[in-house]
Amino acid sequence: MWINLRRFSIGCLLAWAVLAVSSGGLLAQGVLVIEHDGGIMPIPRPILPQPRPRPIPTASYRVKAVEIDSSINDQQARVQISQTFQNTGSTVVNASFLFPLPPDAAIDHLTLMVDGKEYEGKLMPRDEARHIYEDYVRRSQDPALLEWMGCGVFQTSVFPIPPGAERKVTLEFTQLLRRMDLTHELLLPLATAKYSSQPLDKLTMRLAINTTAKLKNVYCPTYSVEVERGSDHQAIVTFNAENVVPAADLRLFFDIGEELIGASLLNHWAPGDDLGHFLLLVSPDIGHAGEESIPKDIVFVVDRSGSMSGEKINQVRESLKFVIERLNDHDRFNVITYSTNVEKFRPELELASEANKQAALGFANGIFAGGSTNISEAMSVALPLLADSERPSFVVFLTDGLPTAGETNEGKIVQICRDHAGSHVRILNLGVGYDVNSRLLERIADAVRGRSEYVRPSEDIEMYVSRLYRSIAAPVMTDVQVTIDQPDWDAAQGPLAQQLIPAQASDLFFGEQLSISGRYRGHGAVRVTVTGKVGAVTKSFEFPLHLSPQGEGNNQTFVAKFWAARRIGQIIDDIDLNGQQQELIDELVSLSTKYGIMTPYTSFLADDQPNGLAVNDARRARALATDSFGRLAETSGVAGVAQRDFSNRLQSAGGRGGAPAGNQPAQSSPSAAFGGVELQDIDEDRAVATQNVLSVGNMTLYRSGQTWVDASCREIQLDSLPDDVQRVKRFSDEYFELAAGNSVDENLAFARLEAGDQLLIKLRGRLVLID
């Protein structure tokens, strides 16, 4: 969507960019195009920290609110999008509304209303629309509109907006969803609202999904949506935020199937990559939640040492009450508290009967803080309770400090856990505060296929415990293994699917979604097999799915960055637990550079390099990263916790709800809306915006003086460019010829340039310098 303003000067507007999860073929992103004194004004850039100051225009407009409603029935979506604009200037605005349409958009019954009045419009095909976009760029000397090269456009007649007045623009249309195998995809415009002088007061979306076949995975890679599953054929997807700058368009995937579980295979193989990337999603059938939930055994191990006194021990009591009250009748449980000594609620596991739960609540009320921290003894008592269990078994382990009683050696404590925990036991760690030995928790999690989370001093323990318990409340399949193959695949080429993350077997729970990232070679029809234990019975489910060939123009490019983020987190874990290996450090630097995922160990990439990227000098990059990894010796304190939490968040990128890829800023951040990348300050445990790195679609740009350098050109020295470099002046005929053949991401890189900037980029195998 964009609005064309005549005879009006607009300023303080947020400018153009996208998150890495954005991709080609977006339904609509918008901008204000301003005609003034017979010309076109450049589109104002965002009010963000910049290397060079800009003049700030005097007038402005804002988008106050965006509301999206959609009713999806199988492959057809009925959509209504409302945006409330406010003229904050002193002159009447005569505006027309433009809605860019991608070439493959299957849209019908498109209607536009302004404050309830329908306005006529004209639909222009892509060739005619291209001349409009190019004309605006030439006349304004501003490349922002290159984003829509190749799109058609729907344009309305003019309507007025008086000074201070608001206009609610409502667009209604019916869209046929894209479908691949059993997976459906919906794209809806949200990023258009970033072109506003202020953040939105309110952003709301509600999408109702109804399917004839059973609904399985529901997945959004761009926003952390809430999914409410009313039945096995229905879901309500919602997102609500205030004071927000939308950073990306909404992308929603869902699939259907009749088995106990469902599987979706999102994938992309970029030109020039040796292997493709995929994201496999596995979800259980919601309709079986009541009848198929597997009985589980669970032991809560709670630190009550002296450092837990005050509000922390109060929150622990309330956390225990929350989970005890929600145990299923067929579950078994126990509660163990520890300080200098260890105390058990009952000698053995107890069935979660109402009487036993009430007794456990009384035990929880009697917990008080005092004494040292005897982690080794607590584990030695808790784990044998689960040794003979044939059920899914969990230890929820909570601590806020270092081991100070009993065995205090890290390695020996981990060995105690390994010796007493069978292959069926998972230890789920909650580290509270900054005094906890975070490396010990990670080593325990690694030894027993568990995981760790960290509660900051200002955060609520109860919230973390309740969220963790909900994620494991109802097991449906344990020891889940996944294979992807083809009947005629030649094993001599190596495995079809490889470098899977997580690499180990996982468990699947009702209400949760298992996501596995990986690489692939080969393409076409594949068989995805999911095998695991349903109770004591091993079951397998097969799904006929597809992998795209190299260079195919699908729009699921975000899966590559999700895999890269997970792999970087995996490398950090490996170095933390097993020591530095040069091959791993080199791989981390390479992935961090290519995908713009800044880590505490590659922060030097965000420095403004006067002659290109720091990785031009491989020896220097290696030395800087190696030195930075020395910080992993800090096992506790702010930096110790921040480093390990950062690694864990990377390894969950693209997980349930669509976690950001690596260190992309939050969805409400103006920096995120315009391609910003953040650094993790481990000493302050906070994210810090950088001015010298941009994530542009699936590309990464680095600032070197006045030149933005695409990561694919990192081997080029700027003071000695090769003789065959193609030098192109901005807004020349040659420039527009390049733009016409560019991908969406490449044109996004063009659009990011400001006056005085240069861009060094590889286009279709040729090195190009735009200036």
pLDDT in tens, 548-592: 999 876 678 889 999 999 999 999 999 999 999 999 999 999 999
What values do phi and psi take at 670, rounded to 5?
-55, -35
| Cα–Cα distances in angstroms (integers) from residue 508 to residues 29, 183, 260, 479, 511, in the given order | 37, 20, 11, 8, 9
Residue-wise pLDDT for 230-248, tens only, equals 788 999 999 998 887 776 7
Determine the pLDDT at residue 728.
95
- Answer left, alpha or beta for residue 191, where phi above 0 means left and psi between -120 and 50 means alpha: alpha
d(CA 102, CA 2): 15
Tell me the pairing of strands 32-36 and 2-6. Answer: parallel
Angstrom distance (rounded) from CA 713 to CA 231: 51
Lowest mean pLDDT among 24-33, 457-466, 495-504, 694-703: 24-33
Q: For residue 1, what pLDDT is reported? A: 35
**Bridge partners, 612 (sequence order):** 610
Q: Tell me, what's the pLDDT at 195? A: 56
Sorted by sequence, the CB contacts under 8 Å of residue 694 that are 6+ apart come out as 17, 596, 675, 676, 677, 700, 701, 708, 752
Beta carbons of 72 and 130 less than 8 angstroms apart? no
The encoded tokens of residue 435 equal 């005094």
Cα dihedral sign, 487-490-496-498: positive
- For a pLDDT cut of 90, what percent of the chain falls above it? 36
Average of per-residue pLDDT across 399-418: 92
The per-residue pLDDT of the chain, averaged, comes to: 81
Average pLDDT over residues 37-65: 52
Determine the average pLDDT of the residues in 722-739. Answer: 92
Please give the Cα distance from 283 to 232 (Å, whole number): 12
pLDDT for the residue numbered 667: 45
CB contact set of 518 (below 8 Å; sequence gap of 6+): 277, 278, 280, 484, 497, 498, 499, 500, 501, 563
Distance CA 312, CA 614 (A): 45
Nearest residue to 4 via CA among 37, 45, 35, 38: 35
Nearest to 392 by CA among 353, 429, 423, 349: 423
Contact 658, 224 (CB under 8 A): yes
List, for residues 412-424, the tens digit of each pLDDT value.
999 999 989 877 8
pTM of the model: 0.84
User: CA-CA distances (angstroms) from residue 150 to 45, 130, 752?
Assistant: 24, 6, 18
- Rg of the chain over Cα atoms, rounded to whole angstroms, equals 28
As a whole number, mean pLDDT of residues 701-719 equals 85
Region 490-510 average pLDDT: 87
Sign of CA dihedral 172, 174, 176, 177: positive
pLDDT tens digits for range 607-642: 766 655 544 567 788 888 999 999 999 999 999 999
| CA dist., res. 55 & res. 58, Å (int) | 10
What DSSP letter does each residue of 25-60 carry, written as one string?
A: T-S----EEEEETTEEEPPPPPSS--SS--PPPS--
% of the chain with per-residue pLDDT over 70: 80
Can you give the pLDDT at residue 611?
Answer: 54
Q: What is the pLDDT of residue 95?
A: 66
Q: Supply the pLDDT for residue 346.
A: 96
Q: What sign results for the dihedral spanned by CA atoms 397, 401, 405, 406?
A: positive
Q: Is the pLDDT of residue 427 over 70?
A: yes
Residue 583 structure tokens? 């091959």
Q: Tell me, what's the pLDDT at 645? A: 93
Q: How far apart are alpha carbons 327 and 332 in whole angstroms?
A: 8
Residue 666 DSSP code: P
Nearest to 387 by CA among 297, 522, 301, 270: 297
Q: What does 128-159 look like in DSSP terms, one character per residue?
A: HHHHHHHHHHHHHT-GGGGGGTT-EEEEE--E
Under the banding of pLDDT at 50, 70 and 90, the label for residue 740 is: confident
CA atoms 606, 607, 611, 614: torsion sign? negative
Count of helices and strands (H, E) across the chain: 15, 41
- For 265-319, write each residue's pLDDT tens digit: 999 998 888 999 999 998 887 655 444 568 899 999 999 999 999 889 989 999 9
